[in-house]
């Protein structure tokens, strides 16, 4: 079928055959289909949607547009996790070494910051020498010997998605559930996974503030991934406040080390990390149920095995051998650190989380243009959770900035993002629901 006929059928609400979708994706990859045709195809999907079978076909065709990884030489289960993004969401940094210490293999392909959300790769680049684009041989060796490796997407992994996403980005077709689903899963399936767990964020600090819309996306992702042969589940998690008590690249690495050393017990972050660790261990057959999975994960955390895996991953990918023991030697602090004091007594009532993420970018901790250089030192630390009682003059956060003027501006900004009220708010659990 000609490309224009495929577009016309989808525009008119018809269903596409898997062979036609595969043919269109091949043209997308080799450039034989024009940018205008790709844009029209994306817009037709945006208006008409896709069935589960069509979305599976699109996902598999995009997966097969480039290299696919083969982990058959590794005896351990191959697992991964993906998050739709949030503020202070550094779960992957702890989760990968925890489940690796429990016997799983985690070849995690991560991304940079997108919009107001922080990127796992940007955080890891705070560590001197850490190579986010290692050779295929080093990537495989690290996963085999350490159990986990967090790296960036290679040029040959789902290249059709790269071209389609660039066109979607400038044609107002990013927010299509079938296209989001195929974009996320094509890269994950190309990584050769046996099971996958998805973190779909909901709230004012996520890309989806509506719980119903987030559940639709989660169900699409789970249905399509399972339809493509990868055992997958999703957890909907709350993003109405920063997940960690830090937001910013090096600060979130500090937070990761504190977590792996056992210093974040009882936090919302711990609840989310343990929930995903349990989910991954059950999906891989390493635990019979979530409580058993959580017990295994806690054991790996408490006996230091997870911290050892993180140290091993950092060193294997070019970072310092003693990074975990002497992080202060390598993580450069910001020149100016200011407390953010409460201006009244009360309780931390609410937070404009997305704007807090944008404040990190304004400090230099993210990009407004692709070529921007990130200042890994800047951000916010010691962020208190919502519901915390606070006295006038007591700090509820600290600003880390490159200079005094930036620090003062950020301090005023973060004060405006939090509401302090007389009545303690009800706070919801960080894990909202599970989709299978």
Which of 120, 186, 195, 353 is labelled catalytic? 120
Q: Which CATH superfamily is domain 332-421 in?
A: Pyrimidine nucleoside phosphorylase-like, C-terminal domain (3.90.1170.30)
Whether 79-153+160-316 shares its CATH topology with 332-421 is answered no
* pLDDT tens digits, 184-242: 899 889 888 999 999 999 998 887 778 888 899 999 999 999 988 899 999 999 999 99
The CA–CA distances, whole Å, from 247 to 221, 283, 331, 365 equal 27, 30, 15, 9
- Give me the helices (H) in 102-135, please: 120-124
In this predicted structure, what is the pLDDT of residue 153? 73
Can you name the residues that pair with 231 across neighbouring β-strands? 195
What is the arithmetic mean of pLDDT over 11-28?
A: 95
Residue 194: phi and psi, rounded to 5, are: -100, -30
**For residue 119, is pLDDT > 70?**
yes
**3-state SS class at 228:** coil
H or E element, residue 395: strand 395-401
**For residue 22, is pLDDT > 80?**
yes
Which of 10, 55, 65, 80 is labelled catalytic? 80
CATH class of 79-153+160-316: alpha beta
Model confidence band, residue 1 (pLDDT cutoffs 50, 70, 90):
confident
The structure tokens listed for 92 are 């992957």
Cα distance between residue 200 and residue 237, in whole Å: 6
Which of 63, 112, 116, 168 is labelled catalytic? 168
Pairing relationship of beta strands 431-435 and 231-238 according to DSSP bridges: antiparallel
Rg (CA), the chain: 22
Which of 76, 82, 116, 400 is labelled catalytic? 82
- Give me the helices (H) in 266-368, please: 268-283, 290-302, 305-316, 353-360
The structure tokens listed for 156 are 């040959």
| Number of helical (H) and strand (E) elements in the chain, helices listed first | 16, 12
Residue 212 CA to its chain's centroid (Å)? 20
Question: Are 102 and 286 spatial neighbours (Cβ–Cβ below 8 Å)?
Answer: yes
Question: Are 237 and 373 spatial neighbours (Cβ–Cβ below 8 Å)?
Answer: no
The structure tokens listed for 72 are 């058959």
Q: What is the dihedral of CA 32, 35, 36, 41, to 10 degrees?
A: 80
In this predicted structure, what is the pLDDT of residue 210? 83
Which of 112, 188, 315, 400 is labelled catalytic? 188
**For residue 299, is pLDDT > 70?**
yes
**Residue 83: active-site member:** yes
Domain boundaries, the chain: 3-63, 79-153+160-316, 332-421
In this predicted structure, what is the pLDDT of residue 369? 66
Cα distance between residue 47 and residue 403, in whole Å: 48
**3-state SS class at 325:** coil
Burial degree of 44 (CB within 10 A; 0-12, 13-18, 19+): buried
* pLDDT tens digits, 49-69: 999 999 999 999 999 998 888
**For residue 272, is pLDDT > 90?**
yes
**Residue 82: active-site member:** yes
In this predicted structure, what is the pLDDT of residue 371? 67
**Residue 168: active-site member:** yes
The structure tokens listed for 124 are 């890891």
In this predicted structure, what is the pLDDT of residue 143? 96
What is the arithmetic mean of pLDDT over 12-16?
A: 95
What is the arithmetic mean of pLDDT over 247-270?
A: 96
Q: Please state, rounded to an integer, the average pLDDT across all residues of the chain.
A: 92
Cα distance between residue 99 and residue 194, in whole Å: 14
Q: Determine what percent of the chain falls in helix, strand and coil, rounding each to the nearest 5.
A: 45, 15, 40
Which of 10, 76, 81, 411 is labelled catalytic? 81
Domain 3-63 has CATH 1.20.970.10: yes
Question: Are 221 and 181 spatial neighbours (Cβ–Cβ below 8 Å)?
Answer: yes
* pLDDT tens digits, 353-380: 999 998 998 998 887 666 678 899 999 9
In this predicted structure, what is the pLDDT of residue 111? 66
Question: How many residues would you count in the chain?
Answer: 436
Which of 23, 63, 76, 187 is labelled catalytic? 187
Q: Is 200 left (phi over 0), alpha (psi -120 to 50) or beta?
A: beta
Residue with tokens 């660790």: 277
In this predicted structure, what is the pLDDT of residue 385? 96
Question: Are 258 and 233 spatial neighbours (Cβ–Cβ below 8 Å)?
Answer: no
Residue 89 CA to its chain's centroid (Å)? 7
Which of 29, 183, 232, 381 is labelled catalytic? 183
Cα distance between residue 374 and residue 353, in whole Å: 21
**Residue 187: active-site member:** yes
């Amino acid at each position: 079928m000609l490309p224009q006929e495929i577009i016309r059928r989808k525009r008119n609400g018809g269903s596409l055959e898997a062979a036609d979708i595969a043919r269109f994706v091949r043209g997308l990859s080799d450039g034989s289909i024009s940018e205008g045709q790709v844009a029209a195809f994306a817009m037709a999907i945006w208006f008409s949607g896709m069935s589960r079978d069509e979305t599976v076909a699109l996902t598999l065709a995009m997966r097969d547009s480039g290299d696919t990884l083969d982990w058959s030489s590794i005896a351990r289960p191959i697992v991964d996790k993906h998050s739709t993004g949030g503020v202070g969401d550094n779960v992957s940094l702890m989760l990968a070494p925890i489940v690796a210490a429990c016997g799983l293999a985690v070849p995690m392909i991560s991304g940079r910051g997108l919009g107001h959300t922080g990127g796992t790769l940007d955080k890891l680049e705070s560590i001197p020498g850490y190579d986010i684009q290692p050779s295929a041989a080093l990537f495989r060796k690290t996963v085999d010997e350490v159990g986990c490796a967090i790296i960036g997407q290679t040029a040959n992994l789902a290249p059709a998605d790269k071209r389609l996403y660039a066109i979607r980005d400038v044609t107002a077709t990013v927010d299509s559930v079938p296209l989001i689903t195929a974009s996320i899963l094509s890269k994950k399936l190309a990584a050769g996974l046996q099971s996958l767990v998805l973190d779909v964020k909901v709230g004012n600090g996520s890309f989806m503030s509506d719980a119903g819309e987030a559940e639709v996306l989660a169900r699409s992702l789970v249905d399509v991934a399972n339809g493509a042969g990868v055992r997958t589940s999703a957890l909907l998690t709350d993003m109405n406040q920063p997940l960690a008590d830090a937001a910013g690249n090096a600060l979130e690495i500090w937070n990761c080390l504190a977590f792996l050393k056992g210093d974040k017990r009882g936090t919302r972050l711990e609840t989310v990390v343990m929930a995903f660790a349990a989910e991954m261990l059950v999906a891989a057959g390493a635990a019979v149920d979530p409580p058993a999975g959580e017990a295994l994960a806690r054991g790996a955390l408490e006996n230091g095995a997870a911290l050892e895996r993180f140290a091993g991953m950092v060193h294997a990918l070019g970072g310092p051998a003693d990074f975990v023991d002497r992080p202060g030697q390598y993580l450069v602090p910001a020149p100016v650190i200011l407390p953010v004091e409460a201006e009244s007594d009360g309780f931390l009532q609410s937070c404009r989380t997305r704007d807090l993420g944008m404040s990190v970018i304004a400090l230099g901790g993210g990009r407004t243009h692709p070529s921007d250089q990130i200042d890994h030192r800047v951000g916010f630390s010691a962020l208190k959770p919502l519901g915390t009682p606070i006295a006038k003059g007591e700090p509820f956060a600290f600003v880390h900035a490159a200079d005094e003027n930036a620090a003062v501006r950020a301090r005023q900004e973060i004060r405006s993002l939090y509401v302090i009220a007389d009545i303690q708010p009800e706070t919801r659990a960080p894990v909202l629901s599970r989709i299978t």
